[in-house]
Amino acid sequence: MRKPRELERLNANLPVFMKLFDGKVSECDAKEGTATLTFTVDENFCHSGDVVQGGFVTAMLDAAMSHAVFAYDDTVGNLSSLEISTRYLEATRAGSLTAVGRIVRLSHKTGFLDGQLFNAEGTLLATTQSVAKIYRKPKDQ
């Protein structure tokens, strides 16, 4: 488990969309290559009443997977999804959500990642798998 100072570092540069959903990195384990993010989605980001739009579901999962990589390897400057596949198992409804991202395999230039999204009751709502291109920070940083 990461120390609070490292969580602060991960939370310092969150993408704007995460702020819209009150998103934050709540825990990560560099040794295990995992990151857990929490979100609160209100009905303004839903369709059909309280159903969260699928693109937002994928974005939350993508953020969790990316932060697993950032927590694991501080030489990574950025990631770019080459392929991402999301399976929607249940309707994702407005409210508190938890996304868990995990590194399956990481090389110098490519990452294989997966993620899961849960509601407040712990129901698995969606899963995703991704292949990401890794961009390393310049050596002088």
What local confidence, expressed as pLDDT, does residue 1 receive?
Answer: 53
Residue 126, domain CATH: 3.10.129.10
Residue 95 lies in a domain: yes
**Residue from 60, 82, 66 nearest 127 by CA:** 60
Domain of 29? Answer: 4-136
- Cα distances from 53 to residues 47, 59, 95, in angstroms, run 6, 10, 13
**Predicted pLDDT at 106:** 96
In a domain, 17, yes or no: yes
- Please indicate, yes or no, if residue 96 is contained in any of the structural domains: yes
The tally of domains found in the chain comes to 1
pTM above 0.95, yes or no: no
pLDDT at 134: 97
141 lies in some domain: no
- Res 115: pLDDT: 98
DSSP bridge pairs for 27: 36
Per run of 10 residues, the mean pLDDT along the chain (length 141 residues) is 71 86 93 95 90 95 96 92 97 97 97 98 98 92 57
Q: Which is nearest to 46 in space by CA: 58, 37, 55, 38? A: 55
